[in-house]
Structure 1
Amino acid sequence: MINFIGSNLRLIRLFHGLSLADLGERVSVSKQFLSRIENGAESVTDSLECALVAELNVLPDFFYHVDPNPIADEQCHFRRQLTTKVVLRQEARARGEILKRLVGVLDEHVELPKYQVAEADPSFAESIERATEKFRSTFGLGLGPLSNVTRIAENAGAAVMKVRGLACEIDAISFATKRPIIALNDTDRSACRERFGIAHELGHFSLHIGILTGDRLTEAQANHFASALLMPRTTFVRECPLAIRGSRLNWPGLSELKLRWGVSKAAILFRGKQLGAFSDEQVRAGYIGLHRHGEAIQESEDRLMISEEPEVIVDGLKVMRDHFGIPTAAIAREMRVQPGLLDSLLPLPLIARTENILAFRR
């Protein structure tokens, strides 16, 4: 008989953003007692289990289910600020973990795209450049601007979804599991920032298999992959002169490049310098100008750009409902959670679109 699994309690507690003290107060036990339960040093009474089920929006089986595919630290990647607090990273990981379980249920019922991101060596800049060129070639993307990075990631086999509850410091979290997961922050982010974040996570999937990430080196490598994927060197470098007038930056030209390539002006400056198209002085002046005009995070053209919407998970849920007669409530039961927990994870309405319905298993 499987005993109460304390790590499952910790997972769902962090999912809800609760400290031991917070949860202890809600179920009338001490934080020390809850800590011992999570560490396997205390058993759980029936009355306490009922209180935890009600408070944490799960089914009793949730606490007794052994995950057959636990996530190792080196499989978890954050698109975040390096100074993000540990507890916020833990809460984000817990939300990504529950999303992974949802995708696992979908994978059992619908035919999701095959995963096709090739592994590459992160040690050299040239190998990163070639990895992005191979990626574009594999999917027939050419060397121009990418119209929809989210759809490209989904076609490559990643499950992408905007989720609620990620800290503002975290743009995305991804899991390099058998079915890779990219969980995006659902709070207002510019389309450019979201596109770069997805490309960044694809970089981790390609470059950092079995490598613990989060340090400056691995983040820089993933950023290089994202830059090269979004702005391929052979074509983008030829357009960089549009952003130069004489020896100075041409801001209207920089804005035109942004709208054409779907990347931020800051990313254009970085990539242009990387390719030798902009001087250090021009890039420095550009960064100063962005800060001076209040565009360090949100740029003026962002309002003109439409955010990309993930499709695979939403359409997969619709296939399950319409073709298999499996409603979202039944999916929640397979995940051993209550339907309300999915409402707290995924933006609503959950199943609002009908285009691009996935092929399903007969």
Structure 2
Amino acid sequence: MSAFIGSNLRLIRLFHDLSLTDLGEQVGVSKQYLSRLETGAETVSSQLETVLADALQVLPEFFREVDTNPIADEQCHFRRQLTTKVAQRQVARARGEVLKRLVGVLDEHVELPRYQVSATDAETNEAIEKAAEAFRAQFGLGFGPLSNVTRIAENAGAVVMRVHGLAHEIDAISFATKRPLIALNDDGRSACRERFGVAHELGHFSIHLGVLTGDKLTEAQANRFASALLMPRAAFASECGLALRGSRLNWSGLSELKLRWGVSKAAIIFRARQLGVLTDDQARSGYVGLNRHGEALKESEDHLVAHEAPEVVAESLKVMEEHFGIPQATVAREMRVQPRLLQELLKTPHSTLKSNVISLHHTTRLAS
């Protein structure tokens, strides 16, 4: 039998956002003993292993399975990492690791869209603009508003998923793994904010391959890519004059632009300043106006922009169950977790989790 791997215990403990003290109280051992288990300085009895597995909603073999491709620091991209506490980042990363396991199982059974995001060096603003334009050209997106950024990301081969339990400070987190993942904070953010988050993470995939991100420079670069992808200079510069009436901001024009391009008024002001349509003073006046009207975090038109639904995970699970008879309970077992943990990850009603198991050796292509 394989040895107990302490880092796997730490991973699943962080997934549940449990401290050593919290878990110790649940299973009846000290936090010091658990710490030694996690570092490999202590062995675990079969009885305690069973208790830990039940408390953490995994199968005992979860603790013994070696991850041959753990997520490295340079593969993990946090939006707003600078304002996120280390403990909150650890929880988010653990949720990403478990999501990676889920997607790995899906990849075994269905043929997901091929990953096609081209990586490029883009250290200057001009290079970033061209990288975003090349992305649009690669996927035939033209220069107008993007109707569904999430679908574009998934058609490009990434997997997008809303994840609950992330800290409020985290808008999104992505993992540049073999099958790149984008996890959106499932706490009711606006559609515009989610769309920008997806575009921001696509920026990391495009211009930060193998680069450790999270500092002001790389975040600004990813934001520039997102702005250029969502509001390409070739078309947007000529339209965003609507944001002005004479020398003053035109708030009705900003609303019109928001609904057409699917981006926040704050993002429009930011982009218009980048393109030289607004001056520094005009942009500053816009941000002050948004704050004055209580729109710094939630804008008045947000309810008019529909949320985009990630599709790849849900459609893969549907294909596996309906065409191959592989239920979510079997998916959970292949992840080495209990069905209730998968249910928590997916927020799936319990009634959909069936226990019947059949052959696991079929594959099909998931249409993009």
TM-score over 0.5 (shorter chain) = yes
Residues in 2 aligned to 1:80 and 1:188: alpha-carbon distance in whole angstroms: 17
SS across alignment from 1:63: helix
Residues in 2 aligned to 1:320 and 1:326: alpha-carbon distance in whole angstroms: 5
What does 1:1-362 correspond to in 2, within 5 Å? 1-80=1-80, 82-349=82-349, 359=365
Deviation readout 1:202-248 (Å, 9 max, x if unpaired): 00001111111111111001000000000000100001111100100
SS across alignment from 2:51: helix
Residues in 1 aligned to 2:68 and 2:51: alpha-carbon distance in whole angstroms: 27
Structure 1 residue 345 displacement after superposition: 1.4
Residues in 1 aligned to 2:41 and 2:341: alpha-carbon distance in whole angstroms: 28
SS across alignment from 1:174: strand
Question: Contact 2:161–2:183 at 8 Å: present in 1 too?
Answer: yes
Deviation readout 1:296-353 (Å, 9 max, x if unpaired): 011000011110000011000000001111000000000000010012112335999x
| Structure 1: 5+ residue stretches without partners | 353-357
What one-letter code is carried by the residue in structure 2 that aligns with 1:227? S
Question: Contact 1:162–1:186 at 8 Å: present in 2 too?
Answer: yes
Structure 1 residue 68 displacement after superposition: 1.9
4+ residue segments displaced more than 6 Å: none
Report % sequence identity. 72
Deviation readout 1:136-170 (Å, 9 max, x if unpaired): 11111000000000000000000011112111111
Question: Contact 2:122–2:131 at 8 Å: present in 1 too?
Answer: no
Residues in 1 aligned to 2:280 and 2:113: alpha-carbon distance in whole angstroms: 43
SS across alignment from 2:66: coil
Question: Contact 2:16–2:56 at 8 Å: present in 1 too?
Answer: yes
TM-score relative to the length of structure 2: 0.94
Across the aligned residues of Structure 1 and Structure 2, the Cα RMSD in angstroms comes to: 1.5
Which residue pairs with 1:355 in the alignment? Answer: none
Which piece of structure 1 moves more, 116-125 or 50-59? 116-125
Structure 1 residue 80 displacement after superposition: 2.5
TM-score relative to the length of structure 1: 0.96
| Structure 2: 5+ residue stretches without partners | 353-363
SS across alignment from 2:227: helix
Residues in 2 aligned to 1:9 and 1:152: alpha-carbon distance in whole angstroms: 36
Residues in 1 aligned to 2:351 and 2:221: alpha-carbon distance in whole angstroms: 36
Question: Contact 1:314–1:350 at 8 Å: present in 2 too?
Answer: no
